[in-house]
Amino acid sequence: MLSGDLVAAWEVALSDGVYRVEFAHGTTTGKRVVSINGQEVIRRDWMFKLVGKETFTVGGANTKATISIEAVSGFAYEYTLEVDGRSLQKFMDNRVKTTETWWLRVDGEEHRVVLEKDTMDVWCNGQKMETMGEFVDDGTETRFTLGDHECCIKATSSGRKSGIVHHFLLDGEKMSSPAQ
């Protein structure tokens, strides 16, 4: 799909999935092609201006993303990706603070479960889950089902400045620590 003009690729982890953003730039023709997970979202075949920006959306929540093309010297270019108004690194650093992600194998299938700490929304493999939250003696529990399995994300105080700790329980068994 993208030709030999591929100049940059980024992985963007959102609540509804991990997206691969690829950018092709023809430095002689000015061609610009943006693809997400192999699907072309922008194509400009002839651009006289070789530098500039391309803005598009990523994921089910239509998160805004912008690729900046800047000349660094002669015919050398630098490509940067901003997501939600921040550099990709700052966006991902913020996501580490505002979400927890677990990778699980349930009934032979891989599952990526994401908790959005600010809204307490739970996503599994790109689908927002139907959840039930309740307060318990030592914190909160957010419950949902995955196939025939009972899932619970338990939030408790760490007892330190670090605040709240989240644990994932599958059928009452504590799973490994979240993936970052």
Same fold, 6-84 and 98-174: yes
Q: How would residue 9 be classed by pLDDT, with cut points 50, 70 and 90?
A: very high
Note the pLDDT tens digit of each residue in 78-103: 999 999 999 999 999 999 899 999 99
Residue 138 is encoded by which pair of tokens?
A: 């030592």
Residue boundaries of the structural domains of the chain: 6-84, 98-174
Q: Which residues contact 12 (CB under 8 A, 6 or more apart)?
A: 18, 19, 20, 21, 58, 59, 63, 65, 81, 83, 88, 91
- Tell me: domain 6-84, CATH 2.40.128.180, correct? yes
Which residue's entry shows tokens 């307490």?
Answer: 120
Cα separation, 89 vs 41, whole angstroms: 23
CATH code at 98-174: 2.40.128.180
Report pLDDT for 129.
96
Mean pLDDT for the chain overall: 91
